[in-house]
Amino acid sequence: MHRDGHPAVMSISNPPPPLLPLLPAVTHSRYHAREELRRALDVDVAARVGPDAYLLPATPAGTWQRRREVSLARCVAACDRLGPDVVLSHVSAAILYGLWVPNAEWPVHTTQQFRAGSPRQVDEHVRHCRPLTADEVVETPAGLRITSLERTIVDTITMLSPDWALAVADSAMRLVLGPTRSDKNGERDLLRREWSDVLEERGPRRGRRHARAVLAIADHRSESPLESRMRCAVARAGLPTPALQVEVVTHLGDRYVDLGWWLTSPDGTRRFVGFEVDGDVKYDEADSESARNAVAAEKRREDAIRESIRSEGCEVTMLRSSDDIEHDVDRLARALDPSGRMTRIPNLDLLSTRAYSILKQQARSRP
């Protein structure tokens, strides 16, 4: 491996390290009066991110930006405290790669090859004891050592719930293949095989069941974490697999539907069911005038899509996401199968580890 962190021989799953986020500055108590620091902590203009390590945030409290800033600061503080040989891993490495992880103030995760004398999690620090090969460690431009992308994917998707694991895998594919709507079936399938091989050869045992199912449906064409999580819920419920980023030629130009199904009813009627994700999220953060303009533009877009598909002799049903994924799956199931006769085989491997264990216990207890 070269000093700049690029593998000597590149492969599809080991692209050059991406431009990592600007890391926040971490300060220490010796640089501040005790009372000043205490007051700053009390009013939430400072955050403790490690033993004698503090962040003076640049982002407002209670926002996703603050939570991300605290998670990054904990990584910086851990590397300062533990020295240059520490390797950031799991969700900490995923955040540095810019992958889609749940928005929270994460404890820092590191991987080491020896067993520490202290407990596994201490003071917002989770230590994983596992050997790492030379090509599983990358050095960032800032001097932090993190696990390689494929190692980070395997470690992270086994520790997260299946829906967020798919978000991580999808965003990693977007990092490698680019944020494109084109199919790229061959490259996508190659990535699935490569990452599945890493999972089977070196991945942790816990979480491997749902990680296999996640990698089997990972796709670079998902454009948001919510879209990935919705796809996971659709697969778990046993609904038909959707087409992603369905292209529709309209009088406004080419437009795309996030998830789409082309169906034929028993009476021969052709139908299209489309599902749009993130429909309202982008409007909530805009001012009122921008929001009105966005809503009007979105209505023109959807009307053009409906008109184009109907001109081909298809009935059209368009649905939008809400803030309840399971409710959205129920709505989608009714739209896909109005008669309720569709055979559905739920994918139990996409249940969380806890839900799967409960289901197995219930099955054993039945007479």
Give a yes or no: residue 329 inside a domain. no
Same structural domain, 19 and 62: yes
Virtual torsion, Cα 217, 223, 227, 231, nearest 10 deg? -20
Given a cut of 50, whether residue 1 has pLDDT beyond it is: no
Same structural domain, 24 and 127: yes
Same structural domain, 258 and 121: no
Same structural domain, 274 and 297: yes
Give a yes or no: residue 283 inside a domain. yes
Domain that holds residue 114: 10-89+97-132
Identify the CA nearest to 102 among candidates 226, 209, 233, 258. 226
In the chain, % helix, strand, coil (3-state, to 5) comes to 45, 15, 40
Same structural domain, 24 and 128: yes
Same structural domain, 244 and 275: yes
Highest mean pLDDT pick, 129-133, 206-210, 229-233, 290-294: 229-233
How far, in Å, are 45, 89, 141, 247 from residue 112 at the CA level? 33, 10, 21, 47
Total domain count, the chain: 3
pLDDT band for position 151 (cuts 50, 70, 90): very high
Give a yes or no: residue 78 inside a domain. yes
Same structural domain, 200 and 349: yes
pLDDT digits (tens, 9 = 90+) for 217-230: 999 999 999 999 99
Rounded CA gap, 221 and 170, in Å? 8
For the segment 18-41, the average pLDDT, to the nearest whole number, is 81
Give the lowest-confidence range in 45-54, 113-122, 274-283, 302-311: 113-122
Same structural domain, 30 and 102: yes
DSSP H helical ranges for the chain: 34-42, 64-82, 90-97, 149-159, 162-177, 185-202, 208-217, 225-236, 281-284, 288-310, 325-336, 353-365
Same structural domain, 43 and 127: yes
For the segment 174-200, the average pLDDT, to the nearest whole number, is 91
Give the sign of the dihedral formed by CA 29, CA 35, CA 38, CA 43. negative
Same structural domain, 234 and 349: yes
**Confidence at residue 7, expressed as pLDDT on a 0 to 100 scale:** 36
Same structural domain, 76 and 105: yes
Give a yes or no: residue 333 inside a domain. no
Contact status, residue 216 vs residue 236, Cβ threshold 8 Å = no
Q: Which amino acid is at 296?
A: A
pTM: 0.86
pLDDT digits (tens, 9 = 90+) for 250-307: 999 999 999 999 999 888 899 999 999 975 445 444 456 777 787 888 889 999 999 9
Per cent of the chain over pLDDT 90 is 54
Same structural domain, 352 and 229: yes
